Amino acid sequence: MLLEKKTAVVFGGGGAIGGAAARAFAREGARVFLAGRTRAKLESVANEIRSSGGTADIAEIDALDERAVETYIDAVAGKAGTIDVVLNAIGILHVQGAPLAELSLEDFAHPINAYVRAHFISAKAAARHMAKQRSGVILLISTPGSRLPGTGYLGYGVACAAKEGLSRLLAAELAPSGIRVLCIMPHAIPEASARGSHSRKVFEPIATKAGMSVNEMLAGAAEGTLLKRLPTLAEVGDMAAFMASDRAAAVTGTVINMSSGALVD
């Protein structure tokens, strides 16, 4: 197993991407700690993991609360002994579909401030423990919105670009401590929207403005990729598990392109 005897913490562990990654981590042998704001969603993922023979603990944590995150990470380290993998996969509701002329400063800045704050907080809290053990992997989540030219996602696109930049700079700063930092960049995932994730609420204004359903909009996005398909939750979870494992020990400071060819590096 790729992550046997490892400890993995997933912020946003009750969400679509966070849950998929948590299940993959557990399947590969990790003890998983799920953090999020909605206990019912966390319990649902944890029960799936336990029913498959894995180990999962849950905690209601606001990823934007620095003190709460630090206290939680300290508690996990005390309980498990190590902090080997930290994935921040939280979703934050924000405005999409509004052109610049109609976009307020607050709506533009909200996803940038919130996402960067959350990733900084979780990375800093984890790095304190990983540096002591001289090993660890920090994973961030982005989207092709960081680079795709388009309209209606100005704030979120900048937020994704900021997360990617943060991951590269963190990788440089933390490498001497044996810590790897990676950003996984999946394109829109139809399953996530189907499960009622925050992404569906974000996509709805854009789809409505274009006179189509969210499913039709995602189908169009799939047609715009080289592979004529979008990534699945299972694929994102498996990629996270592989990148967190020693099989990827030489990889750090990069963005893992899972856009199905919407972007070509």
Question: Is residue 1 in a domain?
Answer: no
Question: Which residues have a Cβ under 8 Å from the Cβ of 196 and sit 6 or more positions away?
Answer: none
Question: Is residue 2 in a domain?
Answer: no
Q: Is 226 exposed, middle or buried (0-12, 13-18, 19+ CB in 10 A)?
A: exposed
Question: Is residue 264 in a domain?
Answer: no
Q: How confident is the model at residue 245, as a pLDDT?
A: 98
- Enter the tokens of residue 225: 């990729």
239 phi and psi angles, rounded to 5 deg? -65, -40
Radius of gyration of the chain (CA): 18
Question: Is residue 80 in a domain?
Answer: yes
Q: What is the pTM of this model?
A: 0.94
Question: Is residue 215 in a domain?
Answer: yes
SS3 103: coil
Question: Is residue 156 in a domain?
Answer: yes
Cα atoms found within 13 Å of the Cα of residue 87, Cβ hemisphere only:
34
Count of domains for the chain: 1
The domain that holds 224 is classified in CATH as 3.40.50.720
Q: How confident is the model at residue 200, as a pLDDT?
A: 75
Q: How confident is the model at residue 126, as a pLDDT?
A: 98
The residue with tokens 């704030």 is 155
Domain enclosing residue 101, as ranges: 7-258
Question: Is residue 194 in a domain?
Answer: yes
Spell out the per-residue pLDDT of the chain, length 265, in tens.
Answer: 999 999 999 999 999 999 999 999 999 999 999 999 999 999 999 999 999 999 999 999 999 999 999 999 999 999 999 999 999 999 999 999 899 999 999 999 999 999 999 999 999 999 999 999 999 999 999 999 999 998 889 999 999 999 999 999 999 999 999 999 999 999 999 888 655 567 777 788 777 777 888 888 889 989 999 999 999 999 999 999 999 999 999 999 999 999 999 999 8
- Going 56 to 57 to 59 to 64, the CA torsion angle's sign is negative
How far is residue 115's CA from residue 99's CA, in Å, rounded to a whole number? 21
* 20 CA to centre of own chain: 10
